[in-house]
Amino acid sequence: MTTDTAAGVADRIEALDWERLTADLDALGFAETPPVFDPAECAALGSLFDDEGAFRSTVDMRRHRFGEGLYRYFDAPLPALIDDARHAFYPPLARVANAWARRLGEPGDFPDDLDAFLERCHRAGQRRPTPLMLRYGAGGHNTLHQDLYGDVVFPLQVVTVLDRPGADFEGGQFVLVEQRPRAQSRAHVIDLCQGACLVFPTRVRPVEGNRGAYRVAMRHGVATVASGRRTTLGLIFHDAA
């Protein structure tokens, strides 16, 4: 059942300036929203990190040479606030995903509804939820990567920071790196605001060239946290095998 708080978050997402966000995604490869989660919601979400029963797995980044810190994948059923945000973000992002696919000469056939897309994932054997929470202390960081968990991949994802930059932690900027063909890599370093969301590509984005659109590979990570504690929530729309 949808809670009043979760319904409020869904309403805020639906009311975002999607025309501007879509234009930013096309021009820059990423888009920042105003705050979607309020401070109380950020605190409530952040407190979930210590609830072992909310998660299906925990990954120590150092052990796998992914960086320094911990991340945890939520188990089903997702907390209502997260599930509603995931469902609310998906429809406008599916429109972007379909437009990007057509520009790249691919089928633009992502369904309008998240549940229909998740059913596609499940038919492909991808049944494990992928929304996750990440926590870093001083010295924490995340190496450049892509969140790919099977053959079915949704081309956009969302991240928000739950702690207060400049108050709860210093450093820890979000980093996006794009690799254009036959060119040096370009980095975007983004200071996230508490509760605001960043939409960015999962794997590639289209860029217009002299002969039409071409694919630009994107990877993302987190710069070193100088001090304090940084907790983030990631919304990935495809499930994992």
Q: Closest Cα to residue 71, out of 62, 83, 80?
A: 62
Distance CA 67, CA 139 (A): 9
Range of the domain at 12: 4-235
Distance CA 35, CA 38 (A): 7
pLDDT digits (tens, 9 = 90+) for 84-121: 999 999 999 999 999 999 999 999 999 999 999 999 99
Residue 195 confidence (pLDDT) above 90: yes
pLDDT at 154: 98
Would 140 be classed as within a structural domain?
yes
Distance CA 123, CA 26 (A): 31
pLDDT at 197: 98
| Burial 166-189, CB ≥16 within 10 A → b, else e | eebbebbbbbbebeeeeeeeeebe
pLDDT at 211: 85
Q: How distant is the alpha carbon of residue 10 from its chain centre?
A: 16
Would 162 be classed as within a structural domain?
yes
Token pair recorded at residue 106: 């691919």
Phi and psi, residue 198, nearest 5°: -110, 125
Would 223 be classed as within a structural domain?
yes
Distance CA 45, CA 33 (A): 18
pLDDT at 1: 33
For the chain, the average pLDDT equals 95
- The pTM of this model reads 0.95
Determine contact, residues 194/161, Cβ cutoff 8 Å. Answer: yes
Q: Spell out the residues 6+ positions from residue 13 whose beta carbon is closer than 8 angstroms to its own.
A: 36, 85, 88, 89
| Burial 80-100, CB ≥16 within 10 A → b, else e | ebbbbbbbbbbbbbbebbbeb
Would 240 be classed as within a structural domain?
no
Q: H or E segment at 120?
A: helix 114-123
Q: Spell out the residues 6+ positions from residue 66 whose beta carbon is closer than 8 angstroms to its own.
A: 59, 142, 143, 145
Would 241 be classed as within a structural domain?
no
Token pair recorded at residue 144: 């450049």
- Domain at 151, CATH number: 2.60.120.620
Could you give the number of structural domains in the chain?
1
Would 165 be classed as within a structural domain?
yes
Would 133 be classed as within a structural domain?
yes
